[in-house]
Amino acid sequence: MATEKFLWRHIGPRPEDIENMLKVVGVSSLDELIEQTVPESIRLKKPLDLPAPLTEFEFISRMKAVASKNKLYRTFIGQGYYDTITPAVIQRNILENPAWYTSYTPYQAEVSQGRLEALLNFQTMVVELTGMEISNCSLLDEATAAAESMTMMYGLRGKEMKKAGANKLFVDNQIFPQTKDVLITRSAPQGIELVYGDYDTFEFTPDVFGAIIQYPAANGEVRDYKAFADRVHANGALLSVVADMMSLVLLTPPGEWGADVVVGTTQRFGIPMSYGGPHAAYMATREEYKRNIVGRIIGVTIDAQGNHALRLALQTREQHIKREKASSNICTAKALNATMAGFYAAYHGREGLERIARHIHSAAVILAEEIQKLGYKLKVNKFFDTLRFELPEGVSQAAVRDAALEQEINLFYCNCGCGKVVGLSTDEKINEKEINTLIGIFAKAAGKTAAHVQFLDDRTVLDPVMLRDDEILQQSVFNIYHSETGMMRYMKNLERRDISLATSMISLGSCTMKLNAAVEMLPITWPELGAIHPFAPMSQAEGYQQMIRETEEMLCKVTGFAGCSLMPNSGAAGEYSALMVIRQYHISRGEGHRNVILIPASAHGTNPASSSMAGFKILVTATDPEGNIDVEDFRKKAIENRDNLIGAMITYPSTHGIFEESIKELCKIVHENGGQVFMDGANMNGQCGLTSPGEIGADACHLNLHKTFAMPHGGGGPGVGPICVASHLVKFLPSHTMVKTGGEEGIHAVAAAPYGSVGMLPVTYGYLLMLGGEGLAMVTKMAILNANYLASSFEKLGFKILFKGSKGRVGHEMIWDCNMFNKEYGISELDIAKRLMDFGFHAPTLSFPVHGTLMVEPTESEPKEELDRFIEALKTIREEMIEVGEGKADKTDNVLKNAPHTHKVLTADEWSHAYPRSKAAYPLAWVAENKFWPQVGRVDDGYGDRNLMCTCDPLESYADEK
């Protein structure tokens, strides 16, 4: 074994372990296992043509050379992206800390209290700054958040509006172009008509259901929208505001002047620009719309002992439950970035944030005054940070640009066609030297000289009525962690409450919680990558462009397709984007009427939700008793709808964890009836290097880079969901209004940034470069071996594996049936999941895709020792169930029903249970050696939804209200 090769650092089992594991599975070699698992008809005939694998050192050297091609100019372009300062305590202890970036979405609240609190802080910050009543805990980016608000308002239309067919949305001219671009994409399939105009002259008609404005406006103007908000509501419509979070530290919050929904980005709160992302967006609204807001919400509840606890609230709103009736397909959000933004607010507190905001504003005021003295005309007089200048006679944009580039500075150049407007946006990094450099640029372009100016932080052009006068961020978390020591210890305190991959295996099925290698993560914090604006000149981003191009090429080879787009910001966004590409393909052929899509009953909830957003009519196809798609039912529905069939969505390997042998036939059926096949790439970790969507016969697929290709989950994001397509679909890949990308006839943008969350791309880039084609295939084989090793071991313990392939094998994951335990012992899958926490393990996936089951996916990264610990834990749990059945343990008061056991319960003076404390705390010897203590007992979900609390205000403040 060559340990210097990345492959053997990434894979958990050692060569000698593999031999023993194969014996347990009952095969003589890995190849024999693959022959029994992956149908011969779809297996690749030759290895993937990827570059020869690099060592870790070679990759870092390569990455440094690539990153050095980016030019670190100072950027004042604005347009929704601003340079910022990430406090070192946040970078080191959150962004660079595997305990934070390797955790999963906090569905299992008992082992997620740390990041739940961090995200509750984020929600509180958003509520405080927007002046609204409730917030979610992040969305993908500002533009898609605006689109979500459009859909939300459309869904909230009153009976009369719905009856009258009100379908028009007013979009103010002064919102960012990328936001308009995404609104165009999202509105069309929903039947929403966008109406553009100026907010102060727009005349409402009964068919207008909502309005979207920007605050401050795209041209920088701070407007008084109160009268407009009143007109919106007088028309029976709703108002969404796209608000700059940093400006809200000073400005009157939208909640005070009539906003119904407020969205935006928190990028300015310490998150690098990173050529466009990832950045956490937000959505806040009124209490009455709490069941309509999209995305996840952190809520306060109590645990089994009545103690304060946190959890994900109102989960019945989400796509995995409501499926096609969900208001959004949102799944992955931007939890890691939201966590960072929340800590940024806590570290600075109200006073610190006000100093930063005044610094930004004062710099803009000084620049406005001094540049006007040079003959430039300021177009907007009331602003926060953004200036627009009309050029004096004889001065061109080119002259200003040349002078700016000479100083390695980027400004905003209006592309409206007049060629007479130049602008800039200030940020928290700006200092006196830069202010004078900027003034000098405008002076040089005008053929003048400028005197040196002094930078003072107390300048303003804003009227008192424009400024907020309320007491914000008074909660203790924003007022006590202002020293680095205090903040570091607070972060460590939260970190210790959570299970991450730094703790133990996270066996969540369909989630692929594999290693996020340190060497892959290292480059994401480099300034050569973090300080690049997404709309910077292409010549300044050659390193990014090379990495994008090479990653897209490698992903095309892995999927067997011809083209790729990295723009989608999550797996669900990738699904939607691919469906919109397929929709556009049919439209281009004069077949825009096609709108029926086939989706198997076993599909993930995002599939029907994405199809619904794309405007499709969903037909669910049956599953046979073995868990396979019922081919004849599939064929029947395809033929019956052949005139309107747009395609099918198929997950492969299936969500049941098996390689269905009928897959090529299913693709052929769709094609014969005029449709296109979208392959859901959620389970690509079972395909890479062994087969591919292209080989199987699909036309398009999405990929979860945060699953298959080693990007971290970050506690619920950032995710990246690129799409790959066959040659006939390439010309329809997503375009972008600000940067040329995508196909010649590309659909409009699906994200705010041209390349989505490209700041995380070094992870996948390194993963592919260090594995190569054969290494990638070996990873897939090991994922399948680890899964079958567990499956074989579980069966010997009496756990029933629900679905297997024709030769008795599972794919890369498996589902085991717990219904028999419930009938025999009264022990549910939930009890088993919670008891695993006492052993230090995160629960598997509960009751998905089949009720009463647990779904397990070990991934290739878990060592045999960890797999054996998991098996031993389940063996003990099986024995504990038998004790209940034999009457040795009480049916209701036992270690399973009372799990998880907290340190508070186990160290209390009173102990009323029949079983000993040692059995609860240390069920196996090795547990005591490295015990993870759940912070809270089993949470009360019902209480949390009945008593919804979504900020970190003291509990007594809610009691007072009630």
CA-nearest of 814, 818, 871 to 847 is: 818
CA-nearest of 403, 411, 404 to 447 is: 403
Note whether residue 635 is domain-resident.
yes
Answer yes or no: do 232 and 356 share one domain.
no
Q: What is the CATH number for 161? A: 3.40.640.10
Answer yes or no: do 278 and 395 share one domain.
no
Locate tokens 């040349």: which residue? 402
Note whether residue 361 is domain-resident.
yes
Q: 322-348: per-residue pLDDT in tens?
A: 555 666 777 778 999 999 999 999 999
Residues 6+ apart with CB under 8 A from 626: 803, 804
Q: 835-864: per-residue pLDDT in tens?
A: 999 999 999 999 989 999 999 999 999 999
CA-nearest of 204, 261, 209, 250 to 227 is: 204
> Contact, 39 vs 661, CB < 8 A?
yes
User: Would you say the C-alpha torsion 432, 437, 443, 447 has a positive or negative sign?
Assistant: positive
* Confidence band, pLDDT 50/70/90 cuts, at residue 1: low
Residue 113 reports pLDDT greater than 90 = yes
As a whole number of angstroms, the distance between CA 620 and CA 600 comes to 5
pLDDT at 316: 62
pLDDT at 328: 72
Note whether residue 713 is domain-resident.
yes
* Confidence band, pLDDT 50/70/90 cuts, at residue 72: very high
* Pairing, β 814-817 against β 800-801: antiparallel
Q: 451-486: per-residue pLDDT in tens?
A: 999 998 899 999 999 999 999 999 999 999 999 999
> Contact, 602 vs 849, CB < 8 A?
yes
Locate tokens 């995710």: which residue? 719
CA-nearest of 579, 606, 609, 571 to 703 is: 571
Question: Where is the domain boundary, 466, 482, 507?
Answer: 466
pLDDT at 325: 63
The torsion of the CA quartet 796, 797, 802, 806, rounded to 10 degrees, works out to: -10
Note whether residue 339 is domain-resident.
yes
Residue 960 reports pLDDT greater than 50 = no
pLDDT at 962: 39
Note whether residue 241 is domain-resident.
yes
Residue 318 reports pLDDT greater than 80 = no
Q: Can you say how many angstroms the Cα of residue 114 is from the centroid of all Cα atoms in its chain?
A: 19
Note whether residue 147 is domain-resident.
yes
Question: Where is the domain boundary, 305, 324, 347?
Answer: 347
Answer yes or no: do 153 and 248 share one domain.
yes
As a whole number of angstroms, the distance between CA 939 and CA 918 comes to 22
Q: 217-226: per-residue pLDDT in tens?
A: 999 999 999 9
Locate tokens 């196909």: which residue? 743
- Summary mean pLDDT of the chain: 95
Residue 184 reports pLDDT greater than 90 = yes
Q: 688-726: per-residue pLDDT in tens?
A: 999 999 999 999 999 999 999 999 999 999 999 999 999
Answer yes or no: do 315 and 453 share one domain.
no
pLDDT at 961: 43
Domain count along the chain = 3
Answer yes or no: do 181 and 204 share one domain.
yes
Residue 959 reports pLDDT greater than 60 = no
pTM of the model: 0.97
Answer yes or no: do 286 and 298 share one domain.
yes
Answer yes or no: do 380 and 284 share one domain.
no
Q: 134-172: per-residue pLDDT in tens?
A: 999 999 999 999 999 999 999 999 999 999 999 999 999
Answer yes or no: do 406 and 436 share one domain.
yes
Residue 631 reports pLDDT greater than 50 = yes
Give mean pLDDT, residues 501-508: 98
Give mean pLDDT, residues 785-811: 96
> Contact, 388 vs 423, CB < 8 A?
yes
Answer yes or no: do 255 and 122 share one domain.
yes
pLDDT at 954: 60
Q: 918-935: per-residue pLDDT in tens?
A: 999 999 999 999 999 999
Answer yes or no: do 216 and 273 share one domain.
yes
Q: What is the CATH number for 360? A: 3.90.1150.10
Distances (CA, A) of 849 to 188, 579, 817, 936: 31, 23, 11, 27
Residue 602 reports pLDDT greater than 90 = no
Question: Where is the domain boundary, 293, 322, 347?
Answer: 347
H or E segment at 309? strand 308-313
Q: What percent of the chain has pLDDT over 90?
A: 93
As a whole number of angstroms, the distance between CA 156 and CA 206 comes to 15
Q: 871-913: per-residue pLDDT in tens?
A: 999 999 999 999 999 999 999 999 999 999 999 999 999 999 9
Note whether residue 163 is domain-resident.
yes
Answer yes or no: do 164 and 285 share one domain.
yes
pLDDT at 955: 45
pLDDT at 330: 76
Q: 378-435: per-residue pLDDT in tens?
A: 999 999 999 999 999 999 999 999 999 999 999 999 987 788 999 999 999 999 999 9
pLDDT at 324: 57
Residues 6+ apart with CB under 8 A from 942: none
Note whether residue 542 is domain-resident.
no
What tokens does 353 get?
A: 């944030």
Answer yes or no: do 312 and 252 share one domain.
yes
* Confidence band, pLDDT 50/70/90 cuts, at residue 958: very low
**DSSP string computed for 887-923:** TSS-SSSSTTTTPSPPHHHHTSS----SS-HHHHH-S
* Confidence band, pLDDT 50/70/90 cuts, at residue 603: confident
pLDDT at 605: 76
> Contact, 45 vs 692, CB < 8 A?
no
Give the structural domain span for 292: 98-347
- Could you tell me the end-to-end alpha-carbon distance of the chain, in angstroms, rounded to an integer? 65
Give mean pLDDT, residues 500-514: 96
The residue with greater pLDDT, 333 or 179, is 179
Give mean pLDDT, residues 944-951: 83
As a whole number of angstroms, the distance between CA 125 and CA 346 comes to 9
